Amino acid sequence: MGYVIQHSHNFVSYETQNLIKKATFHPVVSGLRLKTIIAVLALVIIVVSVGLLLTLANVPGAPRQSSVTIQDMSGRSIVLSLPVSRVVILNSYWNEIASTLGVSEKIVGIDKYTLSSVYVPKVVKERPVVGDLFSGVNLETILSLKPDAVIMDFGYGKTADIVKSLESIGVPVICMYSNNFNDQLNAIRLLGKVFGVEARADSLINFLEIRHSIIVATASKIPDSERPTVLLCRVEKDGLLTAYANSTWGKIVEDIGGINIALRNSPNQAWPKINLETLLAWDPEIIIIVGYDNLGIQSQLDLIMKSSVWNNLKAVKESRVYTVLIGSRTEGAYLDWGPRMLIGEMKLAKIVQPKYFGDLNVDVVSDMLFSTYYTQ
Amino acid sequence: METIVSVEDLSFSYGGTFKLNSISLNVSAGTVLTLLGPNGCGKTTLLKCINALLKPESGRVVISGRNAHELRRWELARLVGYVPQAHVPPFPYSTLDLVLMGRTAHLDFFQQPSNLDYKIAEKALSMVGLDHLKHRPYDQLSGGERQLALIARAIAQEPKLLLLDEPTAHLDFKNQFLVLSMVKRIARENGIGVIMSLHDPNHAILFSDTVALMKNGSIFAVGPSHLVITKEKIETVYEISVRVINQTNGFLVAPSMENFS
Amino acid sequence: MPHQRKSAFILLLLLPLPVFLLSLTIGSYHIPFGEVLAILFRGIDPLPNSSQTQIYRDVIFMIRLPRILLSLLGGIALSVSGASLQSVFKNPLVDSYILGLSAGAGLGAALAIAFLPNFVGLTQLFAFSFSFLAFMLTYFVARDRGQASTVSLVLAGVIVTALFSAALSMIKFFTSSEKLSSVVYWLMGSMAVSGWDEVLQSGPLIIFAFIIISLMRWRLNVLSMGDEEAKSLGINVERDRLVILITTTLMVSSFVSVSGIIGWVGLVVPHLVRMLMGTPDNRIVIPISASLGGVFLLLADDVARSLTSYELPVGVITTIIGAPFFLYLLRRRGGGSWRQ
């Protein structure tokens, strides 16, 4: 402290001398003024270097007791003590899975988008919001929540920087990933291990895996001649369609015995945009329009039904246009990450292959899933 | 007398048409040369060629023995002070700061004006009688004061040659005379050569040693004012009829009213 | 006047110091003021080996300090380049984005986000390269017979900005929604997860460029008089202007590449400085713009990181403060800042 005060005095006396000289607006000052700037800069640089030195000196962090090494879904090895008791989770679906595993009280911080999920318990949504993966997180808020770990997606937005920053302040980060049903099961398994609730995780995995494998097995036996062409899509405000091609939902269409026409045409794109002419050329037998809520779906329908090609489409003529809710904003939306994905998959199966899956009782499975795992 | 600047057979063209056609002029130390001629005759173009702002097609400008177009800007600015028409700059510097800009050619690339530069600038300001306005923002000065400040700035360059582009434009009757007599006095007292462009033949008569009458990019006549500003020559160049009024100590030119009736 | 201005000069030049200290004590992680001072000035002494103190040190040295320094550096870069370009363009209404820098940085970042793997530093590198590319393009489009006049520079800047923005829209169109959000948020500007890496990436260039501009501050005055006058006064206008354009571009690009686009600082701060100091003299405006610019962005970022439990985009805050304030300055006009 004394060090800096001394410096400030130097500045003042220095400038006071200038002031006397400058009283008649004499220019020597300009040279000295530059020195002042350099002096200020020098001080800033000194502070920076001191900070750097201190942080470098402090790198060896406080040793943790009984720490284990786990591998997260990005392939990184993380050292932390298990099970964790305080966790910040930065995606709504990992919050949802953690809650179905019965550990919602261990979630101490969440991201902005979790607030809009109706499948995350209220108690979790009352936790402090620390930011989100796109605009960034408040590192100090996270630190003040004293988490044992932060759980989050990786590979987009500011995730790389967030991981780097969190690790630099000694907070372990567990990166999660999901691109298909099996990833979901692996994610549930990993979270079960992290929270020390392996048994419950296994039972949930069993519940999902059995039903999923039956559907896939059944669908695999359907002959090609009985597989309809399907377009799973959103209608954008500009009138174009965003199709689900090489994406999780897009691939589910194939798993349940449909031919995903967008995937067949653009095998390398996740969400290709198509215009009405392409739609007419593809002329799928089944069109499934997805949306986050009923209002959104209705306005999508209004928009597409106004178009000239609509009534010429095979799916329209044969009344095989369906709407499906996705995401987590609305009750009844099942096509999303998390255990609900099974219900979404079953519903799609019934739409695409009524002959083979018509007798699937989605409501019973849904009731079982929700009463067993979503009751917190 | 020492020749400050000699313009030798200078031609300048723009877009294929000649704007200046083999101009030759000489100006000696301490004397004032006035460029006189109608709008568009090439006065401003000639000033810009002398100041190397425009590159001539052929011919050369020799200032103190050196070719103006082969000098670097700072070298030229130590020889030539250029006074533009009074204007309002986007940033209202104080009058002293404006005049101080004349010292730029004497500074190194990264150097700021020194005490000495301030002294020279202040001296230039007092030479034109603006000491009392040195801290006033330049844009708050009157038109005449602004023109004087710009002259002071050119003086602060400590040049051998002063170029003035219509220094009386936008000035009132009194200020026109104030500025021009200041220019003549500075030339005399400091041994600086002056080239200025003017609109009024009477100003040329009163304040210059030599007059160059220009027409269509050429020198029509050059010499002492009483030889150049004659009824015939003025009428040819300006294409109006004039009458010359002789006074006891000189003469004046006025347009004949028959032009307008 | 000189006396009064002198005091204001010293005061404003030293202003970053108290704000710097204040900022170190602000944050959503509560650290007692005394602890901050203790850690800051006795940091080298071995501290009591408590984990709480260790966390305090982490918060101060790993979160707050790099971010504060980055804000100061950014404020310097944006406002000093703004002041310089306003002089070079003889126009008090331009800022560092006039040369297409923001559109270039945006396009570079979007390219990296959309088509390249999510590596730390890759987006920054692309943003920096493309914003410099945008400037080069602007300059060469504007060049005619070896001269780039200010008017053609401004026009070329508009054209390059339009081109790059169109390319950016194109990329947005072909990008998945997830990555699209990344691009949009990148453009909003934030220092939320900036650390020492960002300071070290941008700091040296910004300081270097600032020193160059500071040394040329007198030349800036002369350049602001217009090309012909500056030439007559002995300045190689083409060369000096190019030096200033490159220097400011380096400064702004290196900051924008680590922070995203933060607007209004370069426009508002130099105006405020001219108003406060009562002179457009760059020998005063440049150093004071640096200190006030640093203070402005630092305070804005303090708000961004401590007003809520999460992060507000600092670019939004500078706009909310900057735009109305600029309107006020324009209406006030008097104050010796500038006239039409």
Q: Going residue by residue through chain A, which has 376 residues, state the pLDDT in tens, using 9 for 90 and above.
A: 334 334 434 433 444 444 433 333 333 344 455 566 566 666 656 665 555 555 555 444 444 446 889 999 999 999 999 899 999 999 999 999 999 999 999 999 999 999 999 999 999 999 999 999 988 999 999 999 999 999 999 988 889 889 999 999 999 999 999 888 999 999 999 999 999 999 999 999 999 999 999 999 999 999 999 999 999 999 988 888 999 999 889 999 999 999 999 999 999 888 888 899 999 999 999 999 999 999 999 999 999 998 888 999 999 999 999 999 999 999 889 989 899 999 999 999 999 999 999 889 999 999 999 999 998 6
In this complex, do B115 and A28 lie within 8 Å of one another by their Cβ atoms? Answer: yes
Give A-chain residues touching C64 at CB under 8 angstroms: 140
Measured between CB atoms, which of B81, B93, B139 is closest to C281?
B93
For residue C35, the Cα-to-chain-centroid distance in whole angstroms is 31
Q: Can you tell me the mean pLDDT for C277-298?
A: 96
Query: Using the 8-state DSSP alphabet, how is residue B211 labeled?
Result: E
Nearest by CB to C309, from A58, A130, A161: name it: A130
Distance (Å) from the C-alpha of residue A159 to the closest C-alpha of chain C?
8
In a domain, A209, yes or no: no
Query: Is residue A3 assigned to a domain?
Result: no
CB-based contact A8 C177, cutoff 8 Å: no
Instruction: Establish if B98 touches chain A: CB-CB under 8 angstroms.
Output: no
Q: Which residues contact A50 (CB under 8 A, 6 or more apart)?
A: C43, C44
State the Cα–Cα distance between residues C303 and C298, nearest whole angstrom.
Answer: 9
Q: Which residues, 6+ apart, have CB-to-CB distance to C121 below 8 Å?
A: C197, C201
Which of A27, A31, A34 lies at the smallest CB-CB distance from B118? A27
pLDDT in tens, B177-193: 999 999 999 999 999 99
Least confident of B67-81, C25-39, C228-242, C272-286: C25-39
Find the helix or strand (DSSP H, E) in which B26 lies: strand B17-28
pLDDT at A13: 41
Q: Touching check for B94 and chain C: CB below 8 Å?
A: yes
Q: Which residues of B89-105 are buried (b: 16+ CB within 10 A; e: fewer)?
A: bbbbbbbbbbbbbbbbb
d(CA C84, CA C102): 17
User: Do residue C219 and residue B104 have CB atoms under 8 angstroms apart?
Assistant: yes
The runs of H, that is alpha helices, within A59-180 are: 92-100, 122-125, 139-144, 159-168
Please tell me the total count of domains within chain A.
3
Of C217, C235, C338, the CB nearest to B92: C338
Are A28 and B117 within 8 A, CB to CB? no
pLDDT digits (tens, 9 = 90+) for B114-165: 999 999 999 999 999 999 999 999 989 999 999 999 999 999 999 999 999 9
* CATH code of the domain containing A255: 3.40.50.1980
* B114:A28 CB<8 A: yes
Which residues of B are less than 8 Å from C217 in CB distance?
112
Are residues B80 and B98 in contact, defined by beta-carbon separation less than 8 angstroms? no
Q: Which residues of C touch A249 (CB under 8 A)?
A: none
Residues of C in contact with A24 (CB under 8 A): 2
Q: Where are the beta strands (DSSP E) in C205-337?
A: none
In chain A, whose CA is at the least distance from the CA of B134?
A25
| A272 and A368 together in one domain | yes
**Of C112 and B162, more confident:** B162
Is B55 within 8 Å of chain C by CB?
A: no
Is B126's Cβ below 8 Å from some Cβ in A?
no
pLDDT average, residue stretch C208-233: 95
Task: Output the pLDDT for position C333.
Answer: 59
Model's pTM, two decimal places? 0.85
Read off the pLDDT of each residue in C160-189 and give the average, rounded to a whole number. Answer: 84
CATH of C19-326, one of 1.10.3470.10, 3.40.605.10, 2.40.50.140, 3.30.70.20: 1.10.3470.10
Cβ C313–A135 below 8 Å, yes or no?
yes
Q: Residue C71: pLDDT above 50?
A: yes
pLDDT higher at C151 or A75: A75
Search chain A and give the residue with CA nearest B94.
Answer: A25
pLDDT at B81: 96
For C169-182, the pLDDT digits (tens) are 888 877 777 777 78
* Contact assignment for B114 to A25 by CB distance below 8 Å: no
Min Cα distance C41 → chain A (Å) is 6
Neighbours of A52 (CB within 10 A): 16
Q: Is the pLDDT of residue B98 over 90?
A: yes
Closest residue on chain C to B75 (Cα)? C234
Q: Which residues of B touch A28 (CB under 8 A)?
A: 114-115
Q: How far apart are the first and last CA of chain C?
A: 24
Judge whether B212 is closer than 8 Å to chain C, CB to CB.
no
Does B135 sit within 8 Å of A25, measured CB to CB?
yes
A32 and A153 together in one domain: no
Using 50, 70 and 90 to split pLDDT, how confident is the model at C189? confident
Under 8 Å between Cβ of C76 and C206: yes
Are the C-beta atoms of A247 and C177 separated by less than 8 Å? no
What is the C-alpha R_g of chain C? 21
Residues A122, A260 share a domain:
no
Chain B: give the shortest CA distance to residue C219, in Å. 8
Question: Which pLDDT does position A60 carry in this prediction?
Answer: 45
**B90·C336 Cβ contact <8 A:** no
Average pLDDT over residues B253-260: 80
In this complex, the residue of C1, C92, C235 whose CB is nearest that of residue B90 is: C92
Looking at the fold, whether A284 and A181 belong to one and the same domain comes out as no
Mean pLDDT of chain C: 87
> Does residue A345 sit in the same domain as residue A230?
yes
Nearest to C59 among A34, A52, A143 (CB): A143
Structural domain boundaries of chain C? 19-326
Instruction: Return the pLDDT at B86.
Output: 81
pLDDT confidence of residue B179: 93
In a domain, A154, yes or no: yes
> Which structural domain, as residue segments, surrounds residue A47?
14-57
Domain co-membership, A153 together with A244: no
Query: What pLDDT score was predicted for residue A52?
Result: 53
Chain B residue with CA closest to C89: the answer is B90
- What interface predicted TM-score (ipTM) does this complex get? 0.93
Nearest-neighbour CA in chain A from B204: distance (Å):
39
Distance CA A139, CA A131 (A): 9
How far away is chain A from the Cα of C36, in angstroms, using its nearest Cα? 11
pLDDT of residue B99: 97
Largest Cα–Cα separation, chain A: 98
